[in-house]
Amino acid sequence: MSKTSVLFVCLGNICRSPAAEAIFQNIVNDKGLANQFIVDSAGTGSWHIGKKADSRMIFAAKKRNINITSNARQIIKDDFRKFDYILVMDNSNFNNVLNLKNQVKGVDLAKILKIQEFALIYNEKEVPDPYFGGDAGFDHVLDILEDSVSCFLENITYS
């Protein structure tokens, strides 16, 4: 059985996408599905490559028993061959990812989707970037991601 590969993408890969990666990994672990998935995250920008997630996001996630362990990296052209799903946090990231994909010849594997297409409870069209805000913004982003990421898994599991 081949594994389903999922890449979460935001701007710098230190807030939203590593949180989405950790949430998704927790959910598949809890459901006994971890061996069926490859999960990663990346950013469209290069500012934070190699760094841990933002300490405020790590703290907010830990309060929910979510452990963010990834190091920031930038999305690369090979990701379009490697991942079945590339889930982006906002319209800007969506456009940046599409532009990069258009530079890669003969790649049709990755489905590029906005994570909020799967939201059930929260109706924001984009996952807001909490980086320049206060602590409440990190909690709100986690609420949004818990909703949309779990609904994404249900969508691909039962479709």
List residues with catalytic annotation: 10, 16, 129
Name the nearest CA neighbour of 129 among 10, 8, 7: 10
CA dist list (Å): 20 to 105, 124, 145, 155: 28, 16, 6, 16
158: left (phi over 0), alpha (psi -120 to 50) or beta: alpha
d(CA 50, CA 70): 9
Query: What one-letter code names the amino acid at 119?
Result: A
Helix (H, G, I), strand (E, B) or coil at 53: coil
d(CA 20, CA 71): 13
CA dist list (Å): 37 to 24, 43, 72, 103: 10, 20, 20, 27
